[in-house]
């Protein structure tokens, strides 16, 4: 297949691009390298350096005419979305629509969209929650991701798109960026390896569902191979507190450094975990990587990486 991977120089996107290349697909990566790294792009893939909102991106789609759009490019930081909702919407909603319109014109009808679980559901009524849980996003980032899912439903009904929206839990693993405020596993690992003292916001009792990037890659490949349509959670169903996570990373690093605690971030979600049994029933997906194993692999990556 001809597959266009937007954000394919980034953390999750480059790992997915690797998997498509390994399948023998013809892969083009579309990435403006604002956060991605050219070194992450598979050698067998072609890199096109464009913002997804640009005429250059439209030209790539018109020329390449992909069979599949695997859409990961986004403004990823929830806190940035709160600080500048209009910018977040311009990238995540308007940018996505420009891609979909270009794909419609080019004849592309198959879309894999990287959505979000926790940010769409908001504070959950049940733990873990499945896809029938009310959608109550409390950040512009979550609102934007949900809006794109709804737009894809529109494109499916009106133009025959076949779209899979994968609602990720908190993804971690090799190539995750330790810079900025997103990506707590990478941030903690890099700081500990550098001999610095990590900071935990609040008491650290807030929980998340941490899913290894290799499992997320497999979910994307299965969604394509099983020709799935609709929205699917991708997570482990296991809640891990930030304090528990920090202790596990500290163990993987071999450090005895204790974290500092800072004031809690206003509006931060307290608990999040996703039930991925629908994806298991429909595609045979089940996460394979235990947290301790995934953290060791992530720490090993940072030991030898210059990121």
Contact 120, 267 (CB under 8 A): no
Contact 120, 150 (CB under 8 A): no
301 catalytically annotated = no
Which residues, other chains included, contact 120 with Cβ-Cβ below 8 Å and sequence gap of 6+? 135, 137, 142, 145, 146, 149, 167
Is the preceding omega at residue 167 within 30 degrees of 0, hence cis?
no
| Catalytic residue (choose from 87, 121, 141, 301) | 141
E strands in 147-279: 162-168, 170-172, 199-201, 207-208, 210-212, 230-234, 240-241, 260-262
State the residue for tokens 């592309």. Answer: 108
Tokens of 126: 């049940």
| Phi then psi dihedrals of residue 151, to 5 deg | -60, -40
Query: Residue 237, by phi and psi: left (phi above 0), alpha (psi -120 to 50) or beta?
Result: left
Q: Among all residues, which ones are annotated catalytic?
A: 141
């Amino acid at each position: 297949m001809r597959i266009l991977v937007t954000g394919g120089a980034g953390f999750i996107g480059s790992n997915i691009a690797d998997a498509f290349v390994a399948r023998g697909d013809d892969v083009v990566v579309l990435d403006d390298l604002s956060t991605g790294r050219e070194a992450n792009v598979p050698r067998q893939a072609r890199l096109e350096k464009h913002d997804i909102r640009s005429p250059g991106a439209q030209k790539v789609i018109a020329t390449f005419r992909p069979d599949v759009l695997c859409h990961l490019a986004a403004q990823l930081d929830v806190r940035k979305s709160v600080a500048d909702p209009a910018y977040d919407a311009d990238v995540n909603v308007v940018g996505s629509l420009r891609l979909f319109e270009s794909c419609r014109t080019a004849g592309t009808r198959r879309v894999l969209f990287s959505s979000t679980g926790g940010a769409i559901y908001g504070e959950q009524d049940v733990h873990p929650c499945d896809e029938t849980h009310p959608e109550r996003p409390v950040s512009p980032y979550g609102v934007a991701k949900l809006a794109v899912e709804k737009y894809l439903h529109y494109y499916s009904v009106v133009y025959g798109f076949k779209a899979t929206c994968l609602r990720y839990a908190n993804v971690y693993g090799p190539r995750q960026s330790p810079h900025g405020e997103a990506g707590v596993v990478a941030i903690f690992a890099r700081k500990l390896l550098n001999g610095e003292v990590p900071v935990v916001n609040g008491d650290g009792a807030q929980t998340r569902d941490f899913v290894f990037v290799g499992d997320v890659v497999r979910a994307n490949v299965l969604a394509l191979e099983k020709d799935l349509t609709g929205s699917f959670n991708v997570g482990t169903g296991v809640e891990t507190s930030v304090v528990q996570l920090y202790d596990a990373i500290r163990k993987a690093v071999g450090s005895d450094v204790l974290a500092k605690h800072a004031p809690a971030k206003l509006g931060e979600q307290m608990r999040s975990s996703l039930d991925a049994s629908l994806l298991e029933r429909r595609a045979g997906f089940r996460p394979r990587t235990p947290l301790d194993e995934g953290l060791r692999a992530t720490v090993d990556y940072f030991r030898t990486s210059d990121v």
